[in-house]
Amino acid sequence: MREPYLSWPEAAWLIMQFTICANYLFMPQLLYSMSGRLSWAVTMIAVLPAVAGVWATYYLHARFPDERLGQFLPRLVGRPFSILFGSAFILFWLGGAATNATVFAHYVSDTSLQFTPVTVLVATNVLMIVLVSLSGLKTLVRVADALLFIVVPFLLFSQFWPFFGSRIDLSNLAPMRLSDLGADKWRLAGAALAMYHGYQFVFVAGPALNPPGRSALTAGLVGTLAAVPAFLSFVAMPLLAFGWPYANLLTYPAASFLEVVAPKTGLFPIRRFDFVLTVLFRNIMIIAAMSYFYSAAQTLSDLVSPSARRMHPWFVAGLGIAVVASSAAFKGIRTVMQFTGVWVLLGALVTVLTVVLAVVARFRAGSAGRR
Amino acid sequence: MDSTRAACRTAAALASILLMMTTCGCWDALDIDRRAFVAVMGLDSDVSGEGHRPRVSLMIPMPGGGGEGGAGGGGAGGGEEMTAKMLVVDETGVNAEEAVQKVRAMVGGVIDFSTLQYVVTSTDASPDDLTGAMHTVQFTRFIPMTPFMFATEQKASDLLRAESPSGKSFVDTLDGIQAQSRLGLGHVHYPQAWETMSMLINKTGDMTLTLINSTDRGDGLEAVGAAVYDGAKYAGTLAPTDALMLQCVALRRYSGGTYLFRGDDHELLIRIIRARTKVEVDRGNADALRFRVSMRVNAVLMDSGGYRLPLLNRKKLDELEQVAARDMEARLGRLLERLQGWNSDAMRLYHEARVKMPEMSCEDFKRVYPGVKAEFSVSMLLVRTGLLR
């Protein structure tokens, strides 16, 4: 067994990026379509199921500190259910990797690189994802660490600058009608359940945590709570700037918001500061997509071959090619958005499964411990 | 063995970060000299037997010179002849998109809208054409949401061909007009395209666009006032001073300009440093809405026409503050009456009404708007400028 190398602040930072991912490019529209101008409230309501999920993940990690999801699932729920439950997680994570890589490729294609085929943009994203996955979890962690000083200042800037830029009109949130939340309540409940799911990374990175146990809880809570202001700003800021229903007509409200509040630079080629932010947010998307992809690949590998030391390189490369190929099925951002609607429901299922697994672990004392 | 593995991992991490920064997916390397960057876009309506059709004009700087069929924006600078030319092309179509597609067939290279800085609409443009073209600007790929907007009483396609005797480009002249506005009559404010669109879609008030025409001698551009709208329909024109006061109310916070009034038997000039406006609406009878518009103005009394005040005595300044404030209140009252006559909520009173009375739609508000009462209250802090010299 290797020395654990993942401290809780590193894990929290990774969980935050895993949670934020490219959500800012698709979550606002999704929420607007469900709950109108009160969508921003959902980002806070969603904290409750997230805390339950964090606790359940921590509980499972505490019961199986040296094992990943794919390793402890068969002993916890039996072989047939492990395949069923594991498939739900794998599908959700693979869907997350594909969605992130694809939605970002569409955004870049729509705004700056008009002549580059979207598949090429997806392929460049997936190339990096596969490279890091081939190098292992430690490389993923270190890449995420290295981005801290590059991404955090701009992330903070994008959240605080608008308040000094006089583009914000708080009255755009009015009138607040609670009935907006009930307009599409089942889909909305699904979105709320799935919104903060970054803590699931503990299922894969758990054995690397140093120290194990409580650090999983701390990292899960801190990472999730750190993602809340980011989500809140991505959903609320476009409403504050553009008003309703204008915000609902935009394809990428949060990205458009960055465009209109970005300070004027006037200097070519940094003519549009939002492009700079886009490049930086691309890093978050890549980290998140890597985490999704790595989690899916590792869990699939563990389910098939629990004792294997490493994932087979051809298996990882093949999975990467599958992601690129599946992205080709998305004809335009509209199809991607339709898929995210389904993907979010899958996320809700996975959150429920996480809690169910913790409950099962609580009542099946004999399943704990090393294999 | 472990150190080799660690080194490999570090190399992989560094390579990944490098890839993130560099592999952005540039595909076909379309060189900059093969692009036609659009600086200004003009919107007109052509009326014919088939009805009105939008006319789109594009101003494209030609850095290497050689502009054909367009107006020259070049001039001299530092004793060196500038070769920059402006190519202006215009076309009509069923909609703005079709007009632009026709232009694409006329201009060599790829038309690139990512540099669009200004959109000018003629006051003759039909509401449908204006709304349709604005939708195109806002929801078309590769066009930024932030170009400035203004209006003109001439044909936009003609205005784009105006030449500047100073050699300044069209865009530089427009920038300069706004930059100087605070020191002048203060009525120039270019909203960004998305702000205009927000007004048209959210219907929280009506838009006001600065009016820019070419001078009578045709040798430059001048800001002549403001065009106010009822929805997307041009409603009327305001003179510069009225436009200044309108901007102070409509934008709620405005950086001001100069204001002329009569006090102490002189025509006096004050420079508004800052104006903040608060609009409140009385809940009550929806058919007889009452608004309270309170404006707080910080201003400086200019040493106009040889009129000077003692440095230490504020009594006269206090009197003049009151005179100027009452003058502004009276002007705002008259202004609202004119706007009501045009059915234009350019003061954006509905912006407040919709919060207090969410059940009242913009259309409901417009029905009662002609009967709306507003009480204007201006408080001013006036200081004197200059030194005793």
Chain A nearest-CA residue for B17: A143
Question: How far is CA A122 from its chain centroid?
Answer: 17
Q: pLDDT band at B90, cuts 50/70/90? A: very high
Residue B73, both tokens: 């924006």
Contact present, B328 and B254 (Cβ < 8 Å): no
Residue B77 or A264, more confident: A264
pLDDT surpassing 80 at residue B297: yes
* Sign of the alpha-carbon dihedral angle for B221, B92, B203, B140: negative
The pLDDT value given to residue A264:
65
DSSP 3-state of B46 = strand
Cα–Cα distance measured from residue B169 to residue B72, given in angstroms and rounded to the nearest whole number: 9
Residues of A in contact with B27 (CB under 8 A): 113, 115-117, 120
* Phi, psi (deg, nearest 5) at residue B383: -120, 165
Is the confidence at residue B244, as pLDDT, over 80? yes
A335's tokens: 């199809």
Residue A349 lies in a domain: yes
CATH of the domain at A82: 1.20.1740.10
pLDDT at B80 (0 to 100): 39
pLDDT at B208 over 90: yes
Instruction: Give residue A22's pLDDT.
Output: 64
Q: β-strands B118-122, B51-62: how paired?
A: unpaired
CB B59 within 8 A of CB B36: no
Q: Express each pLDDT in A300-315 by its tens digit.
A: 999 988 887 778 888 8
Q: ipTM score of the complex?
A: 0.84
| Beta-bridge mates of residue B238 | B226
Percentage of chain A surpassing pLDDT 70?
Answer: 91
Residue A371 belongs to some domain of the structure: no
- pLDDT (tens digit, 9 = 90+) per residue, B138-160? 877 678 888 999 999 999 999 99
Among chain B residues, CA nearest to A242: B198
| CA distance linking residue B186 with residue B257, whole number of Å | 4
* CA atoms of A234 and B384, how far apart (whole Å): 46
Of the candidate ranges A60-69, A191-200, A240-249, B68-77, the one whose mean pLDDT is the lowest: B68-77
Task: Check pLDDT > 60 for residue B77.
Answer: no
Task: State mean pLDDT over A251-255.
Answer: 85
Asked, for residue A236, whether it belongs to a domain, the answer is: yes
**Mean residue pLDDT across chain B:** 84
Query: Is A123 among the domain residues?
Result: yes
pLDDT of residue B82: 41
Mean pLDDT of B191-204: 93
> What pTM does this model have?
0.86
Residue A102 lies in a domain: yes
Specify whether the CB–CB gap between B246 and B228 falls below 8 A: yes
Q: CB B16 to CB A131 under 8 A?
A: yes
Q: How confident is the model at residue B72 (pLDDT cuts 50, 70, 90)?
A: very low
For the cut 80, the answer to whether the pLDDT of residue A169 exceeds it is yes
Q: Give residue A268's pLDDT band: very low, low, confident or very high (50, 70, 90).
A: very low
Q: Which residue has the higher pLDDT, B377 or B66?
A: B377
A216, pLDDT greater than 60: yes
Of B25, B144, B352, the CB nearest to A259: B144
Which structural domain range is residue A239 located in?
8-363
Chain B hits for A260, Cβ within 8 Å = 145-146, 192, 194
- The predicted pLDDT at position B25 comes to 54
Residue A369 lies in a domain: no
Which pLDDT band holds residue A266 (cuts at 50, 70, 90)?
A: low
CB contacts of A259 in chain B (<8 Å) are 144-146
Q: What does the angle CA B361 – CA B363 – CA B364 come to, to the nearest 5 degrees?
A: 65
Q: Choose from A22-36, A84-98, A117-131 the range with maximum mean pLDDT.
A: A84-98
Domain total in chain A: 1
Q: Would you say residue A267 has pLDDT above 60?
A: no
Q: Which of A115, A132, A272 sits opposite B28 (nearest CB)?
A: A115
Give strand ranges (E) for chain B: 35-37, 40-48, 51-62, 76-77, 80-81, 85-92, 110-112, 118-122, 148-152, 208-214, 221-230, 233-238, 253-254, 258-263, 266-281, 290-301, 373-384
Counting residues of chain B whose pLDDT is more than 70, the rounded percentage is 85
Nearest C-alpha of chain A: how many angstroms from B221?
23
A248 vs A35: CA distance, rounded Å = 11
Tokens of A172: 């755009």
CB-nearest to B20 from A120, A245, A282 is A282
pLDDT value of position A163: 79
Q: Which of A112, A122, A170 to probe the B interface (max B CBs under 10 A)?
A: A112
∠ Cα A271 A272 A276 (to 5°): 110
Look up residue B350 and give its amino acid.
Answer: Y
Q: Is A153 domain-assigned?
A: yes
Enumerate the β-bridge partners of residue B122.
Answer: B152
Residue A2 in any domain: the answer is no
